[in-house]
Amino acid sequence: MRILVTGGAGFIGSHLIDRLMAEGHDVICLDNFYTGHKRNVLKWLGNPYFELIRHDITEPIRLEVDQIYHLACPASPVHYQYNPVKTIKTNVMGTLHMLGLAKRVKARFLLASTSEVYGDPEVHPQSEDYRGNVNTIGIRSCYDEGKRVAETLAFDYHRQNNVEIRVARIFNTYGPRMLENDGRVVSNFVVQSLRGQPLTVYGDGSQTRSFCYVSDLVDGLMRLMNGEHTGPINLGNPGEYTILELAQAVQKMVNPDAEIIFKTLPQDDPRRRRPDITKAQTLLNWQPTVPLQEGLKLTVEDFQNRIASAEEYRLASI
């Protein structure tokens, strides 16, 4: 099968490409390298079944494919707030272009949506029928509302043009290849502890998140794409941890002497976040299998290797 992955050089996209290539598919990776990196797909360069195209999906492109995994969009607050207009253009215009491509070539289309469509939820845990509590004009709106519009577009193309769609609402995901500077809580804590810096907790640390290891998420995405259910379907780990608990787990694993400091909570930061994955369990026969401690260990090892390699390169260039 010929499969397009937008944002394929990013954190989740590159892990998805690894799985698709291992299964023998013909894969096209489309990325503008705003947050993605060539090193994530380096091992596939030169493979006759892999193609890398540098392209910004806010511009149209013509390709022939059977499936489209649409993951392209900066997903961490640091990056999507850096250029909010670009973020919403990616979500709206980029999704329009990819849905138009799916319509033309009759490809099945999977939208990587987000738990951010639930905003700061008043219902806990969050199930797919909850419509959310989102600030339409806040600093996170470019991403939150952008993804909500992307879902609207997907369902309108499905109803109006019979495009086969799948919509995944992705909750917090972590693992190897996360960017060091993406501002997400797992990478923040791991990098700070490895560098001997204080671990920064925003607010009092009582806000909660769920953490899904990337291999589990990729399995869920592929089950959704190749199944019979349109969605939206939540994909995430229902285990719920406070941010302070996560900080303490990383502290204990990496640097027990690291200090934990507290700073002001950012605007619209959700107080609680946990997926109801009943639909994924019943319709996709999917649930996460990697425990947090195991996933954190693998993530820490990846960051250790990258930080060590960067230091070796710095010293060699002096």
- The residues annotated as belonging to the active site are 143
Distance CA 191, CA 189 (A): 6
Distance CA 16, CA 20 (A): 6
Give the DSSP letter of residue 7. Answer: T
Distance CA 223, CA 279 (A): 12
Residues 6+ apart with CB under 8 A from 238: 125, 210, 274, 275, 276, 277, 288
Q: Is the dihedral of CA 260, 264, 267, 268 positive or negative?
A: positive
Torsion of CA 89, 91, 97, 103, to 10 degrees: -160
Distance CA 94, CA 71 (A): 10
Q: What is the DSSP string of 72-122?
A: -S--SHHHHTTSHHHHHHIIIIIHHHHHHHHHHHT-EEEEEEEGGGGBS-S
> Do residues 234 and 113 touch, judged by C-beta distance below 8 A?
no
Residue 207, token pair as written in the block: 């806000």
> Do residues 212 and 172 touch, judged by C-beta distance below 8 A?
yes
Query: Kind and range of the H or E element at 185?
Result: helix 185-194
Q: How far apart are the first and last CA of the chain?
A: 48
| Residue 252, number of CB atoms within 10 A of its CB | 12
| Residue 249, number of CB atoms within 10 A of its CB | 16
Phi, psi (rounded to 5 degrees) for 201: -110, 130
Distance CA 215, CA 63 (A): 28
